[in-house]
Chain A
């Protein structure tokens, strides 16, 4: 095979990937209303709630701990620089802006990606191997509506919630640092946070977290559905799901941040 052929073939695979992602997204998008509690089909909401517990609630300790550590690291790193200018109080700004815009959504997404992208692809991959997906089709039940849509809805609801919580954890870590290093009281810290926080930043963070949630559940489902052959293929698919979703999250983060920057929305104050 010539080099040109190799490059071409790899490119075709990538384009196919992108096309499959887009098609699956479209088909699930139209099924989402069926999962909603009142207007949707019977029993889908219940499975969406189960998924919310699996994707969201049980990820809280991990996401919280990671946000606490990241917040503390951010405070430590920025304080050592800011101290040279005698402006340690600005740590509050750094932590608040860093977390609402960037770290809150990112840390949460990476946690959920590690936990749930793999879990989702393993679950769906196993269903493919054991012919459960085929069984659904033959029974006349749409696997997209039955298994995929509840997961999408669950991720779209819980990941932003987790993002808010882990942002709070990150800011709390900033408070811990300032309380230890310069005896800042909680009341003063709150005031400083209230001054630094911008509704616009929070909004951008939540938009990002929605994008990340879509990536996680989407890649997990697609990799699961792609499983062919035996149980060892499920293992490969879980690895691929985590690697791809993590990479795509970073890529999407870059993309959204660049868009916000170009629109001039990220210039401070």
Chain B
């Protein structure tokens, strides 16, 4: 799919420049700059409310930023036409947090959907591609099941299979390990590494799971209150001195909120008796 010469490892495939966004007067993204380079796995870390979901929506072209640009494969998706956006999206595979599988279709049909709708492949070819994708994610015997019958881990795998159906250059995963037990989550991490190794796909993962982040990442970026406070190779990132990053990595709570002390309660009870 790529033009010759442009497909060098290390080139930025997604470059986010100065993206800002606010909802109802609150800054959700504040001048975010980030590059995702070809062939790497970039993990975007951040706590709840850090703006990582919002940033993801912008990268997918589902929301337009107030300021800044997002360039994918040389096309600025914040300013391009609908048809250009569609062309860019054809090269992206996305696995949403809950899988976003269509409940009225079986797993096979879900994976086949983008192939049937967007390509002119023959049915037999589509069947083969679906089967290969399901094998790749380890769901070859679950093709005829429907999404409600799947476990959380299987649903995520099915979503990855659907995301991989059109052989994308970029795979975007939203919270792949959220709500999964450690074993299933580790299996999914292996799957991501496998996809990168065997298909050379560029992966952007949005998560708050540290263990899986450091296992799979080439580089780690961290969002805090809408600002990108660090982007680094994972080895350097682990030693980062920023207090927020230390807090996040060490799993420390925020400063203790004001709560009623025992003395206060006792004095209150004494007061109410008299």
Contacts and interface: CB of A to CB of B under 8 A. Distances in A.
Question: Do A and B share a complex?
Answer: yes
A140 B166 CA distance: 12
Given A43-B116, A132-B102, A134-B62, A140 B89 contact: yes
A138 B101 CA distance: 13
B102 to A, nearest CB: 6
A132 B118 CA distance: 17
Contacts of B102: 132
B90 interface: yes
B144 interface: no
Contact of B100 (A42, A43, A132, A140): A132
Contact of B92 (A131, A132, A138): A138
B114 A139 contact: yes
Given A140-B118, A141-B117, A135 B89 contact: no
B118 A138 contact: no
B60 interface: yes
Interface residues of B, number: 21
A139 B96 contact: no
B156 to A, nearest CB: 13
Given A139-B114, A140-B118, A131 B89 contact: no
Contact of A140 (B90, B96, B99, B101): B90
A139 B97 contact: no
B86 interface: yes
Interface of B: 57, 60-62, 86, 89-90, 92, 94, 96-102, 113-114, 116-118
Interface in A114-153: 130-132, 134-135, 137-141
Interface of A: 42-43, 130-132, 134-135, 137-141
A138 B60 contact: yes
B60 A134 contact: yes
Given A130-B100, A131-B100, A132-B102, A138 B94 contact: yes
A216 B8 CA distance: 54
Nearest to B99: A130
B89 A138 contact: yes
A131 to B, nearest CB: 4
A236 B213 CA distance: 37
What are the nearest 4 A-B pairs in CB distance? A135-B100, A131-B100, A131-B96, A140-B86
Contacts of A137: 60-62
B186 to A, nearest CB: 24
Nearest to B96: A131
Contacts of B60: 134, 137-138
A42 B94 CA distance: 24
Given A139-B113, A139-B118, A134 B89 contact: no
B116 A135 contact: no
A48 to B, nearest CB: 14
B175 to A, nearest CB: 11
A176 B111 CA distance: 55
Nearest to B86: A140
A132 to B, nearest CB: 5
A139 B98 contact: no
Contacts of A42: 116
A131 B97 contact: yes
Contacts of B117: 139-141
A117 to B, nearest CB: 20
13 contacts: A43-B116, A130-B96, A130-B100, A131-B96, A131-B97, A132-B102, A138-B61, A138-B92, A138-B94, A139-B117, A140-B89, A140-B114, A140-B117
Nearest to A43: B116
Contacts of B86: 140
Given A135-B96, A138-B94, 14 more contacts: A130-B98, A130-B100, A131-B97, A131-B98, A132-B102, A134-B100, A135-B94, A137-B62, A138-B60, A138-B89, A139-B113, A139-B114, A140-B89, A140-B90
